[in-house]
Amino acid sequence: MPKPNHHIFADGELSRNEGTLRIDTLEGKTEYLPIESVDSLYLHGQLDFNTRALGLLNEHNVPLHVFGWKDYYRGTYLPKRGQVSGNTVVEQVRAYDDPARRLRIGQSIIEASIHNMRGNIRYYDGRRGKFSNTVTKLEELKQSVSTTTDINELRSVEGNARKKYYECFDQILRDPFTLTRREYNPPTNEANAGISFLNGMVYTTCVSAIRKTALDPTIGFVHEPGERRFTLSLDIADIFKPILADRLLFRLVNRQQLSINDFEDELNGCLLNENGRMIVLEEFEEMLDETIDHPRLNRKVSFKTLVQTDVYSLKKHILTDEPYHATARWW
């Protein structure tokens, strides 16, 4: 099982002490984090830290994901590359630059993504409403992925699937949660806020996983490599959002673990409050540790490892042309 993440909600100071991380909270508590047993660090509070603390994270290859005001994702401090391989980057760029190869990888990603969306909808068909039309539609869209001839066409298929998919959310989510439209920047209601927050967590999970390989996170295949974004993480996150984010949100809302009171809306936006974030993160972390039987690897793997194996598989495909197994749920 991979190492656990650690989340810091407290305000205070992060420093290096006796070869490990020390957290001094404003409330006067001091904690020491076992640096060798942490996978990624998430800062949700207001923390001061210096280069010595960053140096320590660097030495132990711990990425630092920073969340700002009201837990908007602010960015990631990535440790110096542990894995370097010019060969991999060259091949990755070649794969991106060759329209046929790029399309093939993109198709695998979108196929898996639609497959996973369909899995969620099929689960709730008959439980929370009648979704058989959507299930069929998603199946058709998944079939049509292989006939797309360029990346724009592929993206429009993905867009259509996502639209159909989100249309079901309103019925799946127990009242008073509503999702008439997926809106972000900022999210406009509770359901949107929950999706946004969880999508952010899936994204950072992918950033951490990609960092463990020599792949360049800025060169994606479905998303256009733009500025200031890790497009490869966005690609991989698309596969895992239905599995890790949406399914969790449905469960939290429908089992009433998360209520409308766990959100706050100010300044024409809506976000999780401190209590809500804790509930969501505890469940999210627990889910990352959950294991399932992996038929190809012939052993049990956790969801966190699943993200990692997906990235490894992509890397292997890029380097050796072995088939890329984008994670499509089989369980």
Partner 1 sequence: MNRTTQRPGGGEMQVIVVYDVPAERTHIFRKLLRRRLEHLQQSVFFGKLTDGQVTAMKNEIEDKLEPNDSVVIFESTNPAAFNFTTYGSSEEPGSRFT
Residues of this chain that interact with partner 1 (CB under 8 A) are 1, 4-10, 18-20, 23, 25, 31-37, 278, 281-282, 285
Q: Which is nearer to partner 1, 36 or 322 (CB)?
A: 36
Tokens, residue 47: 């923390």
DSSP state, residue 117: H
Residue 6 beta carbon to partner 1: minimum distance, rounded to whole angstroms = 5
In angstroms, the Cα distances linking 186 to 75, 168, 270, 322 are: 17, 21, 7, 41
User: Strand pairing of 6-8 and 20-25?
Assistant: unpaired
Residue 147 beta carbon to partner 1: minimum distance, rounded to whole angstroms = 44
Q: Which is nearer to partner 1, 24 or 153 (CB)?
A: 24
Assign 61 to helix, strand or coil: coil
Do residues 60 and 19 lie in contact, with contact meaning Cβ atoms separated by under 8 Å?
no
Give 12's strand partners: 25, 47
Q: Which is nearer to partner 1, 7 or 164 (CB)?
A: 7
Residue 272 beta carbon to partner 1: minimum distance, rounded to whole angstroms = 15
Residue 37 beta carbon to partner 1: minimum distance, rounded to whole angstroms = 6
Torsions phi, psi for 271 (to 5 deg):
-145, 160
Name the amino acid, one letter, at 36. Answer: E
Task: Give per-residue burial for 118-154: e unless 16+ CB within 10 Å, then b.
Answer: bbbbeebbeebeebeebbebbeebbeebeebeebeeb
Give 13's strand partners: 24, 48
Helix (H) or strand (E) holding 30: strand 30-33
Q: Which is nearer to partner 1, 23 or 154 (CB)?
A: 23
Do residues 141 and 114 lie in contact, with contact meaning Cβ atoms separated by under 8 Å?
yes
Residue 12 beta carbon to partner 1: minimum distance, rounded to whole angstroms = 9
Residue 9 beta carbon to partner 1: minimum distance, rounded to whole angstroms = 6
Q: Which is nearer to partner 1, 18 or 227 (CB)?
A: 18
Tokens, residue 10: 């407290």
Q: Which is nearer to partner 1, 25 or 259 (CB)?
A: 25
Residue 125 beta carbon to partner 1: minimum distance, rounded to whole angstroms = 35
